[in-house]
Structure 1
Amino acid sequence: MKTTIAKIGQYEGQEVTIGAWLAGKRSSGKIAFLQLRDGTGFIQGVVVKAEAGEEQFQQAKNLTQESSLYVTGTVKADERSPSGYELVVSHIDLLHAATDYPITPKEHGTEFLMDHRHLWLRSKRQHAVMKIRNEIIRATYQFFNENGFVKVDPPILTGSAPEGTSELFATKYFDEDAYLSQSGQLYMEAAAMALGRVFSFGPTFRAEKSKTRRHLIEFWMIEPEMAFVEFEENLEIQEQYVAYIVKAVLDACQLELNVLGRDTSKLEQITAPFPRIHYDQAITFLQEKGFDDITWGDDFGAPHETAIAEHYDKPVFITHYPTSLKPFYMQPDPERDDVVLCADLIAPEGYGEIIGGSQRIDDADLLKQRIKEHQLSEDAYKWYMELRHYGSVPHSGFGLGLERTVAWLAGVEHVRETIPFPRLLNRLYP
């Protein structure tokens, strides 16, 4: 019976065959222990000389790291195994003998591992991170499908920028200028006017020359937009969504979380509702904490966000930022035009902002004014303005950065480990 490591528990006591790679090995006298992986998981194969025979035993001892093979053996329950099972090997069919595999059990520097990212992904730790990433994506689709959202795919090539603050990657689109998308939001607003509640999941690009552990040049965003949804309801949907994906990871990825040494007790506290702090209160809080350099109107950096987050056990919304700090499309607070109806969701444990969201301006005159104030091209945004001319409604949305969310849930220090092939300031290889 051919199967996978993930399904091997269904065949306890039976003989099965798996296609696998040799992640590592050790031998003790007349027994060889093979660490096998097949993409679905890891398992130990035990080769007993007296049972498998001299030829198979010697072949097992001579196997090299990352050689590919078919392994046949009997599935045996083993409480010491992370998977709960091991394979008592009776036959090995070598497919390809790997030589001089560069990533050995010794310590390697980060740059070396990044240069060999195509191989580093095979390690148990990186495998665990990718499985957690996959579960977040799976749960994202499930949450939005269950809540009446329609998946819409905005363009990656655009003729304008939704947020004028970040550097853009420019390219030629035949005889005109184009840019790699830094957000699908504006297009998602158009989709929401057609389909009510929509979400996108796709790559975004920011040409920011940042080297922090929270930044990537290319990353993936989940961006919902909702017609007839105002500020408060927008926050409620965000916290329900985040609580949903946290629970999904806890339910489906215990093995991976254990591999990473993640303290899951902190994740088990993540239930809606989340605490909120007004920007005004945040400024006062930071000043009382000794951040003497921060004044009203300043944006928050990583140390400020971390100080605020450490005050709470759950993600915290920082709401009502000054209008001057935020993009042109955000709805002003009806009681104060110096702040907007927006919120950043800050993850606990120093992982920073994972969501930015707001109610969007629905008044055509105000939006036109904002476009002029930000010195944006009225021609480029003509289609966006038309959304306010033909049945404008209150609407809201947000964007969740997938890699920062993976880093937080997996307990990984740097976002470069949370995407298969990271694009960093000085890295475009492999």
Structure 2
Amino acid sequence: MSINRCGIRDVYQFVGQPVRIGCWLYNKRSSGKIQFLQLRDGTGFIQAVAVRNEVGEEVWDAASKLTQESSLYVTGLVREDARSQSGYELTVQNVEIIQIAQDYPVTHKEHGVDFLMDHRHLWIRTPRQRAILAIRAEIVRAVQQFFDSHGFTLVDPPILTPSSCEGTTNLFHTKYFDEDAYLTQSGQLYMEAAAMALGRVYSFGPTFRAEKSKTRRHLIEFWMIEPEMAFVEHEESLRIQEQFVSHVVQSVLSNCEKELKVLDRDTAKLAHVKPPFPRITYDEAIQFLQDNGFDIAWGEDFGAPHETAIAEGYDKPVFITHYPTELKAFYMKPAPERPEVVLCADLIAPEGYGEIIGGSQRIDDPELMGQRFEAHQLSMEAYQWYLDLRKYGTVPHSGFGLGLERTVAWICGLEHVRETIPFPRLLYRLYP
């Protein structure tokens, strides 16, 4: 009988047949005459059972030598097993050792966060971390599927920029030969230019904030999805956002059932994430917070406790719209009937995960944008190209940005964003 080479996730195709899998030993236990090998190969985990009087001394001895994270090829017969987490098990026929790992540091015991972060390159091999990264990959796939199937074109904005997107100072400075340059904090302005060429566009790439924050919601380097849409105004943008977020969540529920189970995620909470999403204005949010004992005045921004309190009243994400003009970026369009607030919205995730989307309708009036430049003391030399977008064929347009890592944290039910990215960059952490 020929032996099939496959990954662990594909063993269901070969029930009753022998397969050969390249893998690592995750854990092992023995009852004397039987060895239970917990194997992983990156696609999943499976138990392989070696019975001494069936495999012979050479194979038995090879299995006995295996230590945590030793690498091997295992050949075995696939059989269904309802007791197994994967639903399948291997009856070992042969073991070929590639390497015996010595003194593997991330053992099956409790480790401190700093230790695990120092060994992040090894920590990601564990079932929980693998599940998180698999869900992240599914979210990325669903993001691209949504935009690609809704008439958006993927555009890649630059990472090195001559100026800030939002006029902030939380930028990483570098030298671009003889000029000053910065690592991008957003591709939005460039995406607006791309929207004037292609209609509906989105970017998907890394962004950087030199913000000395150590909260569970912040990373120094993170990934953003930033769509921009010509001829789309505020209300239509909100509808697109809720359709988009719902698509991503439902894709994870459909395609990552095993991974969500590993994380003990309450999927019933995610099942509610379908349009329409509730909406409240900034005014209503302020009134709600004041009525519930928060010391906050109109014109102040919301912090994590405020967002959490607001979100507790809903079982799906909630839009907070029409923030004060002074709180938001220079490019956001004022509400026509009330210029002290802008046509914007933050989407707040339930369960205390905070803002996952920020978006707005952009100013399309050249004169008003010029006034904003003066008010924010923006460099005409650095931003002239951005003003050109209003000078040559300006149109109503809107856009938003979704933070990938906060979204992963919410969907996975994680306490900290450091687990949402393979190698997090945090305040005072640049290794590994």
TM-score range, shorter chain: over 0.9
What is the aligned partner in structure 2 of residue 379 from structure 1? 381
The percent of aligned pairs where both chains have the same amino acid is: 71
Moved more, 368-377 or 198-207: 368-377
Partner of 2:71: 68
Partner AA of 2:262 in structure 1: V
Deviation of 1:164 (Å): 1.8
Mapped to 1, the partners of 2:227 and 2:82 lie a distance apart of 44
Cα deviation, residue 6, structure 1: 1.1
Amino acid at match of 1:164: G
User: How far apart in 1 are the matches of 2:52 and 2:304?
Assistant: 57
Equivalent residues of 1:166, 1:206 under 8 A apart: no
Paired amino acid for 1:400: L
Q: RMSD value over aligned CA atoms? A: 0.6
| Secondary structure of 1:404's aligned partner | helix
In the alignment, is residue 272 of structure 1 matched against residue 275 of structure 2?
Answer: yes
- Which structure 2 residues correspond to residues 26-425 of structure 1 after superposition, within 5 A? 26-291=29-294, 293-425=295-427
Runs of 4+ with >6 A deviation: none
Instruction: Note the residue ranges of structure 1 that are not aligned, 5 or more in a row.
Output: none
How far apart, CA to CA, are the structure 2 residues paired with 1:254 and 1:52?
35
Q: What is the alpha-carbon distance in structure 2 between the residues aligned to residue 146 and residue 159 of structure 1?
A: 33
Residue equivalent to 1:428: 430
Structure 2 contact 65–100 (Cα < 8 Å) conserved: no
Name the aligned partner's letter for residue 171 of structure 2.
L
* In structure 1, distance between residues paired with 2:166 and 2:314: 30
Distance in 2 between residues matched to 1:247 and 1:51, nearest whole Å = 46
Offset at 1:226?
0.2
User: Matches of 2:411 and 2:262 in 1, distance apart?
Assistant: 13
Q: Is the 8 A contact 2:209 2:221 kept in 1?
A: yes
Q: Distance in 2 between matches of 1:145 and 1:250?
A: 20
Deviation at 1:166, TM superposition (A): 4.7
How far does the alpha carbon of each residue in 1:327-352 deviate from its partner, in whole angstroms, 9 at most, with x for none? Answer: 10000000111000000000000001
Q: Counterpart of 2:208 in structure 1: which amino acid?
A: F
Deviation, structure 1 residue 359: 0.3
Equivalents in 2 of 1:76, 1:302: separation in Å?
A: 50
Question: TM-score normalised to the size of structure 1?
Answer: 0.99
> Shift in Å at residue 278 of structure 1?
0.1
From 2, 5, 24, the counterpart of 2:5: 2
Q: Helix, strand or coil: the match of 1:381?
A: helix
Code of the aligned partner of 1:352? G
Cα contact 2:18–2:77 (8 A) shared by 1: yes
Which of 6, 13, 18 is the aligned partner of 2:21? 18
Query: What whole-Å deviation, never above 9, does each CA across 1:58-114 have from its counterpart, x for those lacking one?
Result: 221221110110000000101111211111111000011110000000110000000
Quote the offset at 1:165 in angstroms: 3.0
Aligned length: 429
